[in-house]
Structure 1
Amino acid sequence: MTTPTITGRRLPLVLRNRAFGAVWLGQVCTQAAVRMFQVGISWWLIAYAASSAGGLASGLFMAVSTLPAVALAPLVARTIARWAHRSLLRAAAGGAGAVATALAIWACASDLPIAAAYAATLALATCQAFFDPCLTTSVPELVDDEDIEAATGFELSTQSLASLGGALLGALIVDKAGVAGLAVGCAAAYAAAALLITTARFRTADSTADAAAEGAGGVAARRTLRQILGALPQVRAILLCFAAANLFTTAVFVVMPLYTASVLHGDGSTVALLEGSLGAGTLIGSFTGARVPGRPTVVGSLCLAMMAFVLAVPGLVAARPVIAGSLLVTGWCVGVIGVRFVALFQRLVPAADKPAFFAVMQAVLGATFPLASLLFGLLGDHLSAQTLCLIQAAGLLPAAVFLGLLGDRPTTATDSDDSSTGGSSTPEPAATGGTR
């Protein structure tokens, strides 16, 4: 990795750090593919395959797509800790590409049964369950410490880019080319990701140092997931708060197609508009989140309250511009929250604990998604989509209040002596780093 010049530092991180840029583009491809698949299949179920019980079918599909991240968290943590990160990222992208290719061949040869779509999303989600936390853990291997927040912003913006790309392509491809065309597009994206990751060079000095520390008897490297979260009480509280909030925020991925079909009476282009608004808002939030003043708990509480307000608006006013604007603001709040808190965790969590922590973070935050998908999918077959919007808004308010009451100062448990790698001197800068 070359040392950037003063002029080079004015360039975006993905341009002046080629290794990170390649991995970031690989993440864009994988998450765009999985989001395109989720949006496309969800719309296929509601509009074509299971229209009489589209809400439940779509909700069950979204629930299945989130199960691996929750169920496999311990395995993911162990795998990330033991395997070379580039090899694991490449294997995950390549495996997903093989699954998408097999699905494309099946869909081209005959009518695709609904069960095959569920099986495919389970396999793709399993690959992504390894890919996402592994990439987050790898950030310090790709960038310098002063670039961690910028890298976090780019990494989280990937999710919004993926939502934007999936929104614009997923439902439209299904309308035009069916599930076969959708699977072909996903396979191409995964193949591109695997090639991009192959070209990137990861640092080895940090991981070698961590391995040496572990060999010297570092206790933190062997801590269980429960011990890691037990040593970070406020981080644990934050994760639980957002897990509760996700029960209502992630339901938007089920509510949007239902809203399109039953309230707006639209087609795939309307789904694209709504998903695109959410993705564009998250993209903006990911790049501007570090500039929002205030400590993470305060910013997060205000963002959750704002999301509650804007999600209630489509429940009262049924119009495309209204719900598009609402989702744009919702996405912005999601992006800001992501940047502020993941950057905070990068500095608070000791390096040896990061593989396990980011795996459990993904699991904890995603734990309520299967329940949310099933619950709101089932309710969608009995209640109007506008009522679902109001339920989402009401559910976010307690989470906003709880997060605001957590306090401004991120603390660890009584481990100030053995957590010097992410110790008591780092939380304060991390909490205010976004304002610099």
Structure 2
Amino acid sequence: MTLLRRLAALLSDLRLAILLLLLIASASAIGTILPQGEDPALYLERFNADPWLGVINGERMLQLQLDHVYSSGWFLGLLGWLGVALMLCSWRRQWPALQSALRWIDYREPRQLSKLALAETLSSPDPKKGITNLATSLRAQGWQVQEQQGRLAARRGVVGRVGPLLVHTGMVLLMLGAAWGSLGGNRLERFLAPGRSLDLLDRSGNSQLTLTLDQFTIERDPAGRTEQFRSQLSLQPPGDNEAVFKEISVNHPLRYRGMTVYQADWSLATITVQLGRSPLLQLPLQTFPELGDQLWGLVLPTRPDGSEPVLLTLGSEAGPVQVFGEGGELITNLRPGGSSVEVNGLPLRVVEVMPASGLLLKRDPGVPLVYSGFAITLLGGGLSLVATRQLWAVEDPEHQKLHIAGLCNRNLSGFAQEFPTLLSRADEIHA
């Protein structure tokens, strides 16, 4: 039993809780700096050649689970440890403090009041009437007052004692929500071209929702820079005959049946070209990181045997499409929907460039807990700022004295400034 008490005291120590908070904050910073949830090969390729901080290479990073910090075992362990520490602290400290604050303290003797932080003695020809009138004045100011024979107890702001308990409760809910979201949540990022659909399956392989991109538009400023992009979506739940039509854009996600769809990015999906008298050819585009960011293209042969290829590159759906020869020389620029230009003896025309919408789909069952915990923590933090003030008065009819004393759990100096005002009203009563 003694060992359990010592362990509970250790786990509920404030210094341990602060240390755990610092460790969790440091881990969160690491998760923000390092890319999360990428393919393991990316970490090996990137960090084996250039170790992070000069020490941690790709293999060590995967071993330490730094590629998925927020769902790693050690991070969830820190959250659990902090949660246990907060619950023990609430049980051993905050709950008894709240119970103590709700109990009325009955001081019967003037000598008991003289030991308090604020204490004064007033001359009073009728101390009993003075206590009655003082109680009336305090009630008018919102104090709770308990009168007994020859004495008075009053308090205000007891609700502030609930604040620390609510803060601990809110933080535990936050951590439970974060852990539940990491373990039970889903995340999917896909580029979808207009007219294409995406089936979302449950763990059993059954369709939960069919998401179709009906239209995708990119809004640009006069200089051609991207300002906003929007996706018109239709959502078809299984068994429903009517689809739901919604629009999303950057900073305006869609929340539907516990799932959130974000407009995360954009890309170029396909290019439609015509070589000579050939039919229209819709060809997929790919990125070329080695040539620059936000650059797409494809290698297009101009002969039936696949020889004499040209490289087509473009940075936006509006073009221009740059055409390079085998030696890397720029042959021409083409505009989507424009006229054809002769390339290697063949007319080449770009008919259309189809952009793709980058959609991020997240299902996080812990979101309600996170929001609730955050709201409770804010409420508790606000209530913690409320000072609990207590006041006692004991009559001394033999010496015609009225003894008044007070306590405050925080901002004692503020209560000390208010205390003379209470005494002055008592003086007016007894004058």
What interval of TM-score do these two structures reach, taking the shorter chain for normalisation? under 0.3
**How high is the TM-score relative to the length of structure 1?**
0.24
- Larger radius of gyration between Structure 1 and Structure 2: 2
**How high is the TM-score relative to the length of structure 2?**
0.25
Bigger share in helix: 1
